[in-house]
Structure 1
Amino acid sequence: MTALAMSGDRAVPSAYNEDVVRKFAIATMFWGVVGFLAGTFIAFQLAFPVLNFDLPWLSFGRLRPLHTSAVVFAFGGNALLGTSLYVVQRTCRTTLFGGRALADFLFWGYQFFIVMAALGYVLGVTQAREYAEPEWFVDLWLTLVWVIYLVIFLGTVLMRREPHIYVANWFYLAFIITIAMLHIVNNLALPVSFVGTKSYSLFSGVQDALTQWWYGHNAVGFFLTAGFLGMM
């Protein structure tokens, strides 16, 4: 932001960071196509099992969670991140906190998470936890990216030029903070080795199942509900 335009007695940025919003929009469309094609392919696998090709990385059991996560976290996640950064700038009448470098790290960091998770699905490197399949090292990376997301969003709200905090931003904040809590608690795990991929949950038995679906149902409630309410 280099110049300010005046609207009444409030200063309004003449240039928002629309580059990162545009990148998220493109990624949303790309991952949407990937997710929908994966869903179409596994639907055909149900009718024609020969399409599994006797290859483990193309089996229904591995591609089904790939389809689910591609639609929810890649397609939906990019849509939520992109629209939240668009909305928070305009409703707060300021550009994004942290500048373009931090916003670009958020974008590319999230895409890297998606690619790592997808490779884990097809290679069978997963925790076998519904909606939370990626292993511990992928979870750590997503935690870092999500903290950056929270810093950018909350920092932008705190340095707003608009006295009122629009309701959309409260929905987005609820989505960001709650998903962070759910992700961290549900993925508490002990790696077998810090140079290996395998880990075991800190919870076991009934406690593990309860924690998993505390995560699963609230992920639907806050990722697929609160976040999209903010978007609307």
Structure 2
Amino acid sequence: YVTPVKHEGVELNILPPGEDLEQIVEELWNTGRPGPEFRELLEKSGAYNFYDFIIIDSAPFFDVRYTVLSIYAATRYVVVLRPSIVDSRRTARMLRRLMKYAKDFGLSTPDYMARFLGVINLAKSGTIEADALLNLKFTGVKPSKGFNPFKHPSDERRKNLEKSIEGLRKVINFSNYVLPLNADISRLEFKEIIKGGKSDNDLKNTTENLLKDIWLHATCQK
């Protein structure tokens, strides 16, 4: 059931998944055209006309069926991943699986993939991962003590991570701003971080610019 909530004067309706979600997904999948059926279901419900924005949270590595349904229900997608070889490689595999649905939208593969925006999360400063991100011109983390942007990396893990993320960037666009692994992000609301005063300016600027990138992407302005 929809639960109405109010946050910062804005009315939101939250629809948490119930125990019957798995059964509904199963029934949609058995139709042979689960994505279009789900889209039609939402259209008939009047949800698209009633709400300004609908945000669907999906767990792509839990069950690909939920992700496929989300792809049909939305027009813009945000892919969040950690800066690790495991996350970047499995994200690449997921995107390859989703590419086959481009024709259902009447889009070329490049136009379809333009609907995706990559966002890197939980990036820890002072690590090999941070150095890899900085070398790829991302912003939001601090380098390790031995980081040299003009020296080719000798660490195999860093080289493989850079190669893996760079490969993803050839498939989908990424925000240049990454969310760092930071206690303030867990402790404070985004509004407090953006206002500053309770967190450092670097985190404030990074968070503000990242949210702007997501907004521009979601509203088809970028």
Q: Which structure is higher in RCO with an 8 Å CA cutoff and minimum separation 6?
A: 1
- TM-score between the two structures when normalised by the length of structure 1: 0.26
- TM-score between the two structures when normalised by the length of structure 2: 0.27
